[in-house]
Amino acid sequence: MLKTNYDDLSSMSEGGQKSRKKLSKAVVAVICLLTLIIIAVAVLIIYNLLSKVEAPTAGTTVAQTSSFDVPSEAPAEAVPEASGSTEATVLSPNIPETALEFNQGTTAASLKDTSRNSFDAEVKYQNYTLVGSETLETVASKFNVSIQTLLSINQIKNPAAVVAGTSIVIPDRNGRYYTVEKDDTLSYIVNKFNLTIGWKTLMEINGLKGEGIFVGQKLFIPDESSVESISFAASGIDFSSPLPKGHVVAYYGQSQVNPGTKASKLLDGILISGSEGASINAASFGTVMDVAYDASGEMGFFVKISHEGGYNSYYCFLNSDSVSVSVSDKVDAGQKIGTISSESSPYDSPTLLFKIEQNGIMLDPSVFF
């Protein structure tokens, strides 16, 4: 009887030990599983932290990308109207609505003496009417801007016609107007004129709400001197392109390196490329004043023609063997005076340098075409 009881106790003890062993194994399994989960979570956290450190936040370096990278703005397209693309302070040939008015006889304070906007701020304009013996030269000095800036912003072909009673617009800094062409973008224009500013700054200077521009729109290009076009009654002369089928490859006021002289300077004319042996025509009627070779290499073999109103036109990098006019010859508008070729041009292809001046002031030829 007693033996039986002891046997039962022994059996119960062995069963308990087995149960405890099973429980211990389960606990170990749970602990291992939890450990694996903790390790996995830690790995994910570390990975996310490393990813955030390496990835740039939006709007930091991307926003400061140079304008010489691929631009995001759309190219200019021909549209009938501005469609709200520009502010009133972006000048057309008319006086802007935001210009400050100076009545005739009023002496305006020089912009030099007023609080000027920063270089990248929107350009501001004011109106002024010449009085007495004032000229463009005296007004330019009074307002601390260049004569070329006044010529460009006011679309002047004939500086001699700007006399007392003429109203002009004066910007708060030096610059020129550029007329937008098909497929232009703000980035392309910035690169064309070798500006140090980005296209977004050019957009702000012109008071644009967005990057969209349209063909025929006039943009203010800071620190580039030029002359753009509206004719006065005092000038009855017209000029046409001396190379009608040519393509303008460099504009007046644009920095350009002459491959022949290796010198870099602002163009005082325009460069027009054409085909080999293309005819060069007189831009207007006049008298041949000079047929010569410029040994400095800046003009090569050239023809100079004098016109009414104090104008002179220059046709440079001509093929010397092709020139068909002589000094004192009378020429008609459109008359052939010579040709261009690769040999006569310092550039890679046949190229004409065409210049116009009036009374010693160099003008932008392209505005007459």
272 SS3 class: strand
| Ranges under pLDDT 70 in the chain | 1-24, 47-120, 223-236, 369
d(CA 209, CA 30): 64
The alpha carbon of 52 is separated from its chain's Cα centroid by a whole number of angstroms, namely 37
pLDDT of res. 299? 92
Give every CB contact of residue 12 below 8 A, 6+ residues apart in sequence. none
Of the chain, the end-to-end C-alpha distance in Å amounts to 133
> Which of 93, 176, 147, 130 lies closest to 358 in space, CA to CA?
147
pLDDT of res. 21? 58
Give the CA distances from residue 337 to residues 86, 145, 268, in Å, rounded to whole numbers and listed in that order: 43, 38, 21
pLDDT of res. 206? 94
> Which of 314, 167, 161 lies closest to 236 in space, CA to CA?
161
- Token pair 């996310």: residue: 48
354 SS3 class: strand
pLDDT of res. 126? 92
167 SS3 class: strand
pLDDT of res. 276? 92
**pTM of the full structure:** 0.50
DSSP 301: E
Give every CB contact of residue 152 below 8 A, 6+ residues apart in sequence. 175, 176, 177, 225, 226, 227, 228, 364
d(CA 35, CA 38): 5
